[in-house]
Amino acid sequence: DPKIIQKPKYLVAVTGSEKILICEQYLGHNAMYWYRQSAKKPLEFMFSYSYQKLMDNQTASSRFQPQSSKKNHLDLQITALKPDDSATYFCASSTGTTNTGQLYFGEGSKLTVL
Amino acid sequence: QQKVQQSPESLTVSEGAMASLNCTFSDGTSDNFRWYRQHSGKGLEMLVSIFSDGEKEEGRFTAHLNRASLHVSLHIREPQPSDSAVYLCADYAGNKLTFGIGTRVLVRP
């Protein structure tokens, strides 16, 4: 059974709308992350959280807002959607944010913005 | 900012033949280097994580790191059709991973 649950797996949105991507992990990890994989581009780091606090943000746009309501949740709210936001968004978690921590990835949420 | 280049873009091998993938980095000071595998529609699965120059083996997967030449390779011994996937290398620095674009591997029976 997957230990990192991402919902929905696929979603389609119209330009200008808002969507929330859900991520829950059942690994007991303290650190959670969001990565984005756009077509023909490498997987790209977006955010890291540790104990529900933002540790690093590499996303230039404030339209992307992580939300951590519980220790094992890290949702991603995206507002004013643009076609360039079309990508697969991966949630990940690890025991900590040190270099020895193995990252476990969810199966992704594929977003298409029309 | 670290850049990661992978080659080849795609690779077809016969079942049982060795598969070799390459990765070069723009900066060799990263904490460690990792290889991941991504089956279509699935999440990433880490195969090998290597910290020091030399070799690290995990089952049928062996990584070789040479920091001086900014190069890490992955060798897949006796590949099977179930190994068909996209293979991603990444470096870990500053508490985040920087990925290459991947090598698509197809293993033919």
Return mean pLDDT, chain A.
92
Between residues 42 and 61 of chain B, which touch chain A (CB distance below 8 Å)? 42-46, 49
User: Per-residue pLDDT tens for B53-103?
Assistant: 999 999 999 999 999 999 999 999 999 999 999 999 999 887 788 999 999
CB within 8 Å: B102 and A55: no
Cβ–Cβ gap B46/A107 under 8 Å: no
Question: Residue B6 above 60 pLDDT?
Answer: yes
Residue B77 dihedral angles phi and psi, to the nearest 5°: -85, 135
pLDDT digits (tens, 9 = 90+) for A79-113: 999 999 999 999 999 887 665 568 899 999 999 99
pLDDT tier, B7 (very low <50, low <70, confident <90, very high otherwise): very high
User: Which chain B residues are closer than 8 Å to A41 by Cβ?
Assistant: 101
Q: Residue B31: its pLDDT value, please?
A: 80
Does A103 contact chain B (CB < 8 Å)?
A: yes
- Residue B99: list chain A partners with CB under 8 A: 42-44
Contact by Cβ (8 Å): B54, B64 = yes
